[in-house]
Structure 1
């Protein structure tokens, strides 16, 4: 049996879309713009780092980062992000969402600047310093995931909650696009100012000294959007759901939301005390009661996010290698270092503009109509199909006339990742768990995703570079290791599709309906997971 809902929460659930909804989307979303920019801009400059710090004068080819260094530079931010998601997710439930919301931005601003100022007497020293600062940058980024998702879900009304939370996450697409645009502008400006001959003509001059400024400027730009958002984050009131259901302060919750909604709300202290004393609001994360009510949900959100991020981050971080392998980006030896950055940024920007960004906003448009379950299932299905379609006839796609077809199909995997599980895995953990555990469970789910990103960053790097030792380069198509990597990613997406059946549908329900926080002692609620299947909460 369900108790009567608190008036302040009813008001939030029933509120029409207002200015404060859009304000919250922008404030939380700019954090995600910065997150994506900082995480993915490194892929634009790793080849440049190899040319600058690992080029040997007189060598027949441009310098490249050794595999272990490349893996560290690409993956260390994910290790920091995973740690930050767990720590700040837990802290957000202990101290409140707002109190720790500004700390994440400060970390992101300071560490973005520090990453660009990385120093050292040797190449190893510069790379070690860069990895140190990118770890702490990732730590701040990690905190943004559970806090932004939880704040937006607790502010939103139940009718359009999915669109609002996914709109925050959709800013990630603009962050990826922004990284490409900044890299294009910076590299074009330097290429124009400091003309360097092609590598094949003059190896020693192919990387002008000024190229060292390019990667530093690209990394440091990430501090700007984060810094601009800090003031507005500090002005946001604590969410009513945390204040009323976790802090047990009915007066403060009513006062805060009266200002936000511009309506008079009553402080219902008796109801808050009654809710606080119920079994539905007393069990802990590691209790048998939590496992009974939400164990399958947590398994569903962690497993699907883990599998999704192996594929998604592998694709994003190493698309430059894939495009080089199929010949869409010219060989490094045919370009100077600055022009190579420009070419890589151009390819990433085109993919982001044509598929990544539209995919996010298709989810925003349809998530409250189609539902989370349907979109996630559809996304995993098409990602699986397109991965196999690229991998099985891989040699066909390496032929010059077919390269555009490869790029189009590769772009479609990004589109259905974002009009699919990349968005829904972010939305669902912010809806399915009780207020006092919501940020923690979102942090656990997101950290599981970043564990997948680490697998992708380290594992795909080595797999994509693998070669058959029995064959020579002359008779062996470039990037043959990429083919088997794409097959593996297709298999991973298929398993993501299967684990999606553990995730319930949350469309159109209030957060308290989904979590059972208003239930009596039995706490039995049913959530629909498909056309006919139900899972007890």
Structure 2
């Protein structure tokens, strides 16, 4: 039992509309990554500007609770936005709420840079307020972009397309480092250098530096602004229009226009689909069919993000140990931003970025399951080595940088990509966005553990604490390795076959190891080509 519009989507050859959808959805993730990670390049600058104490004998530094709020408030907003927009994506439609996320990102990125006030507390408080709502908009992009891409894609290349959307996160991280590096260099060239440190803040923290961090944050509004028009031109996904709104004729018309082929509406078949899938989220039937998978996607994303965000958001504290950045007392404020963003750019370019695209080009050959297992395992190995050899690596910056870069590579050629792909494929159409949101929100909860617990624990660079943190993250990744066995392989199958919406899948007979089930109660499965 299958609608012609769904068969047409599953078997469509790769064409221009697939590529434009990747770009349109991916630009949201480019913006997301830029906005979330650019704060790491300027957070030390905020401390030097607003928390300078001439009697301390040191440059200004954000107090640990303030640093956690500045870095972590966007993650709190992201978690909230994921849950809200994920639910609305299933209730109101993917397209209807898709543009709202970009509007929020544009407004709040600009307002974050305009966080003025008469005191340090008011400036930082305003910044945290707008960073929360910025994160709220970012959060909506996770379930909506993943769901839209999965519902537009054909089944032969679906995983690669969803992974390509998420790979734009890597491009955003690169640009966060690149933009901060270029702007800080321009400021250094235009306003001149300054002494590394002086009890007079003016000499070591140039007054112009207050403009630098604001410009870095506001630039995050540009890609979201450019993308808005194209998002509004996208039609609603054929699967939502047919299976949720119950309008097979409109779905056929929309997808016929996109695919440039003739498709029959087949309105009479919709009743069969609805009868086979008439159960609500968290009902006994949902738990029986999909409960194990939801636990698997939530737990693996939670565990992955503890390590991933601990890595990304604490880079500024690890780079001095690598020798990639001078100690704060040895360098002036703008130069510190330049060195931090340069190191972030290099690590992202050589370690983070390639991992995403290795996943894109290999996910349909290796499968989601194997890539996730290998990624978790290798992250654990390299973090364990860093923990054991940390004291030695502090004096051997090249080896340190290579090992550190490899943890990023296997995060992205591994669970950071696959935890995004799997929730977009495993669940039924009418709860797909919500289930992806629940999984992503679990991930952001893990990210908050990374920010508020791991980052606080290692903030002062204490050797024993950093080593113990690395050991803990290695164990966390191995638990994620084990939780991966709760999900199943999805490559090569239609979304309706995976979720059981077509009536041909008995979820109890799916093999947990991720191997494709050979079960089909109503005949042989059709292939993409």
- TM-score category of the 2 structures, normalised to the smaller one: over 0.9
Instruction: State how far apart, in whole Å, the 2-side matches of 1:208 and 1:535 are.
Output: 67
Distance apart, 1:466 and its partner CA: 6.0
Q: In the alignment, which residue of structure 2 is the partner of 1:382?
A: 378
Mapping 1:224-303, distance limit 5 Å? 224-278=222-276, 281-303=277-299
Unaligned runs of 5+ in 1: 468-477
Which of 472, 476, 483 is the aligned partner of 1:492?
476
Distance apart, 1:396 and its partner CA: 1.1
Partner secondary structure for residue 104 of structure 1? helix
Q: In the alignment, which residue of structure 2 is the partner of 1:351?
A: 347
Which of 400, 418, 438 is the aligned partner of 1:406?
400
Q: In the alignment, which residue of structure 2 is the partner of 1:176?
A: 173
Distance apart, 1:139 and its partner CA: 0.3
Are 1:530 and 2:513 matched, yes or no? yes
Does structure 2 retain, via aligned residues, the 8 Å contact 1:465–1:481? no
Q: In the alignment, which residue of structure 1 is the partner of 2:419?
A: 425
Distance apart, 1:283 and its partner CA: 0.6
Mapping 1:318-333, distance limit 5 Å? 318-333=314-329
Does structure 1 retain, via aligned residues, the 8 Å contact 2:489–2:515? no
Scaled by the length of structure 1, the TM-score of the pair is 0.94
Distance apart, 1:479 and its partner CA: 4.2
Does structure 1 retain, via aligned residues, the 8 Å contact 2:377–2:477? yes
Mapping 1:12-411, distance limit 5 Å? 12-200=9-197, 203-204=200-201, 205-278=203-276, 281-399=277-395, 402-411=396-405
Which of 503, 519, 525 is the aligned partner of 1:519?
503
Does structure 1 retain, via aligned residues, the 8 Å contact 2:317–2:459? no
Distance apart, 1:480 and its partner CA: 3.6
Does structure 2 retain, via aligned residues, the 8 Å contact 1:112–1:223? yes
Are 1:463 and 2:457 matched, yes or no? yes
Instruction: State how far apart, in whole Å, the 1-side matches of 2:48 and 2:445 are.
Output: 30
Change (3 A) 1:523 1:388: closer
**CA offsets 1:227-272 (integer angstroms, 9 cap, x no match):** 0000000000000010111111011100000000000111100001
Partner secondary structure for residue 510 of structure 2? strand
Distance apart, 1:127 and its partner CA: 0.5
Does structure 2 retain, via aligned residues, the 8 Å contact 1:31–1:105? yes
Does structure 2 retain, via aligned residues, the 8 Å contact 1:58–1:203? no
Distance apart, 1:49 and its partner CA: 0.2
Q: In the alignment, which residue of structure 2 is the partner of 1:471?
A: none
Does structure 1 retain, via aligned residues, the 8 Å contact 2:324–2:339? no
Which of 435, 442, 445 is the aligned partner of 2:439?
445
Does structure 1 retain, via aligned residues, the 8 Å contact 2:177–2:342? yes
**CA offsets 1:121-178 (integer angstroms, 9 cap, x no match):** 1101101000000000000000000000000000000000000000000000000001
**CA offsets 1:422-448 (integer angstroms, 9 cap, x no match):** 000000000000000000000000000
Q: In the alignment, which residue of structure 1 is the partner of 2:429?
A: 435
Q: In the alignment, which residue of structure 2 is the partner of 1:472?
A: none
Partner secondary structure for residue 277 of structure 1? helix
Does structure 2 retain, via aligned residues, the 8 Å contact 1:36–1:172? yes
- Tell me whether 318-327 or 403-412 shows the greater mean CA deviation: 318-327
Does structure 2 retain, via aligned residues, the 8 Å contact 1:293–1:536? no
Instruction: State how far apart, in whole Å, the 2-side matches of 1:479 and 1:217 are.
Output: 35
Change (3 A) 1:435 1:122: same
**CA offsets 1:86-145 (integer angstroms, 9 cap, x no match):** 000000000000000000000000000000000111101101000000000000000000
Instruction: State how far apart, in whole Å, the 2-side matches of 1:330 and 1:150 are.
Output: 44
Instruction: State how far apart, in whole Å, the 2-side matches of 1:432 and 1:421 are.
Output: 16
Partner secondary structure for residue 286 of structure 1? coil
Unaligned runs of 5+ in 2: 521-529
Instruction: State how far apart, in whole Å, the 1-side matches of 2:114 and 2:518 are.
Output: 52
Instruction: State how far apart, in whole Å, the 2-side matches of 1:182 and 1:39 are.
Output: 14
Change (3 A) 1:532 1:274: closer
Does structure 2 retain, via aligned residues, the 8 Å contact 1:514–1:527? no
Distance apart, 1:533 and its partner CA: 9.2
Instruction: State how far apart, in whole Å, the 2-side matches of 1:535 and 1:457 are.
Output: 43
Does structure 2 retain, via aligned residues, the 8 Å contact 1:504–1:530? yes
Distance apart, 1:503 and its partner CA: 1.0
Are 1:501 and 2:497 matched, yes or no? no
Distance apart, 1:534 and its partner CA: 6.8
Instruction: State how far apart, in whole Å, the 2-side matches of 1:29 and 1:465 are.
Output: 33
Partner secondary structure for residue 118 of structure 1? coil
Partner secondary structure for residue 30 of structure 1? helix
Distance apart, 1:276 and its partner CA: 1.5
**CA offsets 1:294-326 (integer angstroms, 9 cap, x no match):** 000000000000000000001000011012134
Does structure 2 retain, via aligned residues, the 8 Å contact 1:529–1:535? no
Does structure 2 retain, via aligned residues, the 8 Å contact 1:30–1:225? yes
Partner secondary structure for residue 149 of structure 1? helix
Does structure 2 retain, via aligned residues, the 8 Å contact 1:325–1:479? no
Partner secondary structure for residue 437 of structure 1? helix
Scaled by the length of structure 2, the TM-score of the pair is 0.96
**CA offsets 1:310-343 (integer angstroms, 9 cap, x no match):** 0000100001101213433111111110000000
